[in-house]
Chains A and B, each alone.
Chain A
Amino acid sequence: MREVAIVGFAQSPSVRQDSVRNEVEILTPVIAEAIKRSGIPRKEIGFTCSGSCDYLAGVPFAFVQALDAVGAWPPIRESHVEMDGAWALYEAWVRLQIGDVDSALVYGFGKSSVGDPREISVAQLDPYYLAPLGPDSVSVAALQARALLESNGYTERDLAEVAARSLRNAKTNPNAQVKGDFEPDELLEAPYDVSPLRSHDCPPISDGAAAVVLAASDLARKVCERPAWITGIDHRIDAHAVGARDLAKSPSATLAAEKAGVGHRPVEVAELHAPFSHQELILRAAMGLGQEVEINPSGGALVANPIMAAGLIRLGEAASRIIDGSANRVLGHATSGPCLQQNLVCVMEVR
């Protein structure tokens, strides 16, 4: 495999509603910043790949407009995935394996505020048996949380502890949307949103964007002092139908972590894309991450959740720990689909 590393990362602050700027205007400064941090001139970037969702934007081919932020004339090599930007990063990583280009720009963006993401998520469910019932994203996640509480001895307090830690970590993350010091007991006094989930167990609705620059072998070494080398990357999928799975477990996360080599050596920091508090507990168990692993120092998707960028942000945040010298082996994870259906695991190391 060709060596590929993250050498630049930037993100917008997540906000509840950016009522002035459109997607392109949110994205443009983020892409410019990621490219600047990478040290690679924009015109020399060999491949561009984005992740976004037309259902979220409410416009067909929404990603085409976003190319204004890239500078796509004369024509560039460009692709798009109708998924979180983390999957765009996977495509770019595969593209760099071919060997004819040495760098790639990857970005993901989403303005969740223009629609109702809770209702929009119904459209991703199986269209025959589940979507006609109209269960929104929080209701579907609540089924999973209930399955976890009833099978593994976890309590609602465990969920509140995840939320309390995430909100506390968010205090040092300038891009976080919600943050603060809360005791788990205090959080448990709140009413249920959809039992057993309370609002602290659910992600905020966020507008935002993120961009990453990848570079291969010698170029990465030239432009970056401590490139975040991707030593393992894999994504796996569980059954689409939530009724066909044991929702308390995530076999696809287990398999992706195994294939990405998570267990070969200790992981210091893991950025897990767990939009709901209970999903962090499922993912930790699925990937075998013990108490010694620092989880979501950024606060994770519970404190900033720009849909289609939140997974890429996990990879970027984890990579930043290598680049800034505060860790030597990290894990970035992204999820997609209902109840952790799809999982992508990316292990990055210093060399």
Chain B
Amino acid sequence: MSDEPLTVLRSPLRLEYTYTAGETSSRFLRGFAEGKILGRRCPECDKVYVPPRGNCPICTSALTAEVELAHTGTITKFCIVNLPFAARNIEIPYVSASILLDGADVPIFHLIQEVPYDEVRIGMRVEAAWEKPEARTPGMESIMYFRPTGEPDVEVDLFEDADA
């Protein structure tokens, strides 16, 4: 036994979980395997949520109407990532962005590629770049990234709902 004082104690704790996506998210995730982006519309507020919720987070109405969304949208905000992540093997810097899909009322979050990082801008039109059909899985990774469509930029009202 050493007489050195004990200064560090390692006590690892490992916990494993089985994640339950839930009824609504399961539909959404399975949609990707079929090449679909599925949202839901609120019967009261008329807002389209993607990822869909079981109920409207504003009025709590049950969201029963499924909506298949376009694979195109507009960048509403973005950030340039300069730090490498272990889980993501992408050359830095790269861009992550909020993308408001056409027909949706809330943006999704995804990678932007096939464009230099310093040319990405708010209002840029983008489209989903899908994995090949045989490589698609029930998850958002089935969309590899979004890329510019080349259409003209559109006006983005960043504060549309601020007074709601």
Interface residues of A (CB under 8 A from B): 18-22, 24-25, 28, 32, 42, 55, 57-58, 67-74, 111, 113-116, 119-120, 122-123, 127-128, 131-132
Q: Are A24 and B20 in contact (CB under 8 A)?
A: no
Contact A69/B164 with A20-B23, A114-B20 known, Cβ cut-off 8 Å: no
Q: Are A24 and B58 in contact (CB under 8 A)?
A: no
Nearest Cβ on chain B to A33's Cβ, whole angstroms: 12
Contact A18/B60 with A25-B54, A122-B13 known, Cβ cut-off 8 Å: no
Q: Is B55 an interface residue (CB 8 A)?
A: yes
Q: Are B55 and A58 in contact (CB under 8 A)?
A: no
Across-interface contacts of A28 in B (CB, < 8 A): 54-55, 60
Q: Are A71 and B20 in contact (CB under 8 A)?
A: no
Contact A119/B15 with A28-B55, A70-B60 known, Cβ cut-off 8 Å: yes
State A228–B53 Cα separation when bound (angstroms).
Answer: 35
Q: Are B58 and A71 in contact (CB under 8 A)?
A: yes
Residues of chain B at interface, number, CB under 8 A: 23
Q: Are B17 and A21 in contact (CB under 8 A)?
A: no
State A199–B9 Cα separation when bound (angstroms).
Answer: 35
Q: Are A68 and B55 in contact (CB under 8 A)?
A: yes
The binding surface of chain B is classed by DSSP as loop
Q: Is B3 an interface residue (CB 8 A)?
A: no
User: Can you report 20 A-B residue pairs in the complex whose CB atoms are below 8 A from each other?
Assistant: A21-B20, A21-B23, A22-B21, A22-B23, A25-B22, A25-B24, A42-B60, A57-B17, A58-B17, A68-B55, A70-B60, A73-B57, A74-B164, A111-B20, A113-B18, A114-B17, A115-B15, A123-B13, A128-B9, A131-B11
State A73–B56 Cα separation when bound (angstroms).
Answer: 10
Pick from B15, B16, B164: contact of A55, CB under 8 Å: B15
Nearest Cβ on chain B to A119's Cβ, whole angstroms: 6
Q: Are B23 and A123 in contact (CB under 8 A)?
A: no
Across-interface contacts of A19 in B (CB, < 8 A): 20
Nearest Cβ on chain A to B13's Cβ, whole angstroms: 6
Number of A-B contacts (CB under 8 A): 71
Across-interface contacts of B16 in A (CB, < 8 A): 115-116
State A25–B9 Cα separation when bound (angstroms).
Answer: 41
- Closest residue of chain B to A22 (Cβ to Cβ) is B22
Q: Are B164 and A73 in contact (CB under 8 A)?
A: yes
Q: Are B23 and A25 in contact (CB under 8 A)?
A: yes
Q: Are A69 and B60 in contact (CB under 8 A)?
A: yes
Nearest Cβ on chain A to B27's Cβ, whole angstroms: 12
Across-interface contacts of A32 in B (CB, < 8 A): 60
Across-interface contacts of A116 in B (CB, < 8 A): 15-16
State A150–B99 Cα separation when bound (angstroms).
Answer: 65
Across-interface contacts of B24 in A (CB, < 8 A): 25
Q: Is B59 an interface residue (CB 8 A)?
A: yes
Interface residues of B (CB under 8 A from A): 9, 11, 13, 15-25, 53-60, 164
Across-interface contacts of B23 in A (CB, < 8 A): 20-22, 25
Nearest Cβ on chain A to B110's Cβ, whole angstroms: 20
State A120–B11 Cα separation when bound (angstroms).
Answer: 14
Q: Are B55 and A132 in contact (CB under 8 A)?
A: no
- Closest residue of chain B to A119 (Cβ to Cβ) is B15
State A24–B9 Cα separation when bound (angstroms).
Answer: 38
Across-interface contacts of A128 in B (CB, < 8 A): 9
Q: Are B15 and A24 in contact (CB under 8 A)?
A: no
State A57–B19 Cα separation when bound (angstroms).
Answer: 9
Q: Are B57 and A68 in contact (CB under 8 A)?
A: yes
Q: Are B17 and A115 in contact (CB under 8 A)?
A: yes
State A55–B106 Cα separation when bound (angstroms).
Answer: 29
Nearest Cβ on chain B to A132's Cβ, whole angstroms: 4
State A114–B20 Cα separation when bound (angstroms).
Answer: 7
Nearest Cβ on chain A to B41's Cβ, whole angstroms: 16
The 6 lowest CB-CB distance pairs between A and B, nearest first, are A22-B22, A58-B17, A132-B11, A71-B60, A68-B57, A115-B17
- Closest residue of chain A to B11 (Cβ to Cβ) is A132
Pick from A42, A55, A71, A114: contact of B57, CB under 8 Å: A71
Across-interface contacts of A123 in B (CB, < 8 A): 13, 15
Q: Are B60 and A58 in contact (CB under 8 A)?
A: no
State A36–B67 Cα separation when bound (angstroms).
Answer: 30
State A185–B60 Cα separation when bound (angstroms).
Answer: 50
Q: Are A114 and B19 in contact (CB under 8 A)?
A: yes
Known contacts A24-B54, A131-B11; 12 further A-B pairs (Cβ under 8 A): A22-B22, A25-B22, A25-B23, A25-B54, A28-B54, A55-B15, A70-B60, A71-B59, A113-B18, A114-B18, A123-B13, A132-B11
State A24–B56 Cα separation when bound (angstroms).
Answer: 12
Across-interface contacts of B59 in A (CB, < 8 A): 71
Across-interface contacts of B11 in A (CB, < 8 A): 127, 131-132
Pick from A21, A73, A119: contact of B58, CB under 8 Å: A73
